């Protein structure tokens, strides 16, 4: 289908922190699984008639098999999630498309994105859509209908459409990043519902702002709400449409400083999610439109408007810089939040199974000791009897001797008469 596969080596991508940690923790859970299954086999062998373990002991250990299985299932599906928010037309969908190196999501002037669109890697080679709660695979072309505000078959704004895209077409998807596009924060009264449904498990938030204007109250309010529900959310701010600055070069530096100061202030002093210094590393001036065009060209996709404004290379580098910092942040944050809990759980399961086995071992040792004790008592009783027997036999012998002597005496007396 003319798709160009990304063949870039990703061994030094910061996303590998997550990918490797995920592999490692999955391997560890394979071992825990084996260990628990071995324990069950052992428990079977020692349960039953004359066994040392009770059926309840066996059931307790057996229950860990499904617990471990459930964690392994969750681990297999664990991913890094980034959600994009901002006012209508700031370029959220375009930023995502640029990061995916392809025009996957609908974008355009006016109010475009009409519902939540979650792009994730497809396990097969195909690309398809699925609406929430349905198993039906829909053709990708329908994303422009389902997700577009101007189409008759559009969905409700807080519904979710999953867009599955072949992993090998995009490095982010291959490394388990899931990207969530949203309708503009200014077109909905349902911000709370959005946050509860789609944000609580996001590892990173990207606020796509419009560098042609400034941070807006609706955008700020949305993130105020987010930071009351999530402690210390990771937030990046993209001042998009920075290509507009090319037409007003005389104020470029001042405008940039003005935007940067406001963004730093918002993250560090208003939201208090990071220090001013950290905030500086979270703010970028980019042009998503140019970045997407550049990447579409690299992949030899047909594109229109080939002329890019002055300074597009600098803006493109800044976009790439954003991607790198974003990858580092999401990777580390996801490892911390997702795997720390699982590894604690894994450790506890191993310890609990060990404790159950130890209990059985102790019962066995006690039983052995009591058998030895019984033998000792028996042994003592036997020697006592033996002693008694010796005494008795000695006394008998004496008696007999005496009887024999007296008989002999009587006989000799009789004979001598």
47, 113, 118, 127: residue in contact with ligand GTP (rule CB under 6 A): 113
- Using alpha carbons only, give the angle 283, 288, 292 rounded to the nearest 5 degrees: 140
CB of 210 to ligand GTP, least distance (A): 9
Question: Is residue 205 within 8 Å of 233, Cβ to Cβ?
Answer: yes
Taking CB under 6 A as the binding criterion, the range among 260-268, 284-292, 356-364, 409-417 that sits at the site for ligand GTP is 284-292
Side-chain half-sphere CA neighbours of 315 within 13 A: 29
Nearer to Mg ion, 52 or 238 (CB): 238
CB of 183 to ligand GTP, least distance (A): 5
Exposed (0-12), middle (13-18) or buried (19+): which is 238, by Cβ within 10 Å? buried
Separation between Cα atoms, residue 151 and residue 128, nearest integer Å:
19
112, 114, 118, 234: residue in contact with Mg ion (rule CB under 5 A): 112
81, 262, 282, 289: residue in contact with ligand GTP (rule CB under 6 A): 289
Taking CB under 6 A as the binding criterion, the range among 6-14, 105-113, 319-327, 402-410 that sits at the site for ligand GTP is 105-113
89 binds ligand GTP (CB under 6 A): yes
Nearer to ligand GTP, 319 or 339 (CB): 319
Question: 294 contacts which partner out of ligand GTP, Mg ion, none, CB within 5 to 8 A by kind?
Answer: none
Estimate the crossing angle of helix 288-298 against helix 312-334, to 10 degrees: 90
Taking CB under 5 A as the binding criterion, the range among 106-114, 187-195, 281-289, 312-320 that sits at the site for Mg ion is 106-114
118 binds ligand GTP (CB under 6 A): no
Nearer to ligand GTP, 47 or 114 (CB): 114
Binding mask 49-88 for ligand GTP (x = CB under 6 A): -------------------------------------x-x
Question: Is residue 164 within 8 Å of 127, Cβ to Cβ?
Answer: yes
The secondary structure of residue 249, as a DSSP letter, is G
Cα distances (Å, whole numbers) of residue 42 to 98, 210, 324: 55, 64, 50
> Please, which residues have CB within 8 angstroms of residue 255's CB and are 6 or more apart in sequence?
211, 245, 248
Within 237-276, which residues bind ligand GTP (CB under 6 A)?
A: 240-241, 243
Nearer to ligand GTP, 86 or 233 (CB): 86
Nearer to ligand GTP, 212 or 328 (CB): 212
Residue 182 — left, alpha, or beta (φ > 0 → left; ψ -120 to 50 → alpha)?
Answer: beta
> 159 — phi, psi (to 5°)?
-85, 165
State the residues that interact with Mg ion by CB under 5 A.
92-93, 112-113
């Amino acid at each position: 289908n003319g798709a160009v596969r990304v063949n870039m080596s990703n061994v030094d991508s910061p996303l590998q922190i997550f990918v490797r940690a995920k592999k490692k923790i999955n391997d560890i859970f394979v071992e825990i699984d084996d260990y628990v299954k071995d324990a069950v086999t052992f428990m079977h062998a020692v349960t039953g008639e004359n066994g040392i373990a009770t059926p309840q002991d066996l059931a307790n250990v057996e229950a860990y098999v499904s617990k471990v299985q459930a964690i392994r299932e969750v681990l297999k599906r664990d991913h890094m999630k980034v959600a994009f928010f901002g006012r209508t037309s700031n370029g959220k969908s375009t930023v995502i498309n640029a990061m995916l190196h392809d025009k996957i999501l609908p974008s355009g002037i006016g109010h475009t994105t009409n519902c939540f669109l979650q792009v994730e890697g497809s396990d097969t080679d195909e690309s398809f859509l699925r609406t929430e709660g349905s198993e039906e695979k829909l053709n990708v072309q329908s994303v422009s209908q389902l997700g577009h505000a101007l189409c008759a078959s559009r969905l409700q704004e807080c519904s979710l459409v999953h867009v599955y895209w072949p992993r090998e077409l995009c490095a982010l998807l291959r490394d388990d990043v899931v990207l969530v596009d949203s309708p503009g924060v200014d077109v909905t009264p349902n911000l709370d519902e959005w946050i509860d449904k789609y944000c609580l498990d996001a590892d990173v938030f990207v606020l796509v702002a419009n560098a042609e204007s400034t941070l807006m109250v609706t955008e700020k309010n949305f993130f105020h709400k987010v930071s009351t529900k999530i402690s210390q959310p990771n937030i990046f701010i993209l001042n998009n449409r920075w290509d507009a600055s090319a037409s007003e070069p005389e104020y470029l530096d001042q405008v940039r400083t003005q935007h940067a100061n406001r963004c730093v202030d918002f993250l560090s002093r208003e939201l208090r999610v990071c220090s001013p210094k950290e905030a500086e590393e979270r703010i970028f001036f980019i042009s998503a439109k140019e970045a997407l065009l550049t990447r579409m060209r690299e992949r030899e996709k047909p594109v229109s408007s080939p002329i890019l404004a002055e300074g597009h290379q600098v803006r493109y580098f800044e976009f790439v810089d954003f991607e790198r910092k974003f990858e580092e942040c999401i990777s580390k944050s996801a490892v911390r939040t997702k795997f720390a809990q699982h590894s604690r759980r894994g450790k506890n399961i191993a310890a609990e199974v060990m404790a159950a086995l130890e209990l059985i071992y102790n019962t066995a040792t006690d039983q052995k000791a009591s058998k030895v004790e019984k033998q000792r008592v028996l042994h003592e009783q036997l020697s006592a009897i033996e002693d008694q027997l010796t005494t008795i036999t000695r006394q008998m012998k004496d008696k007999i001797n005496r009887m024999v002597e007296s008989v002999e005496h009587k006989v000799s007396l009789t004979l001598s008469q």
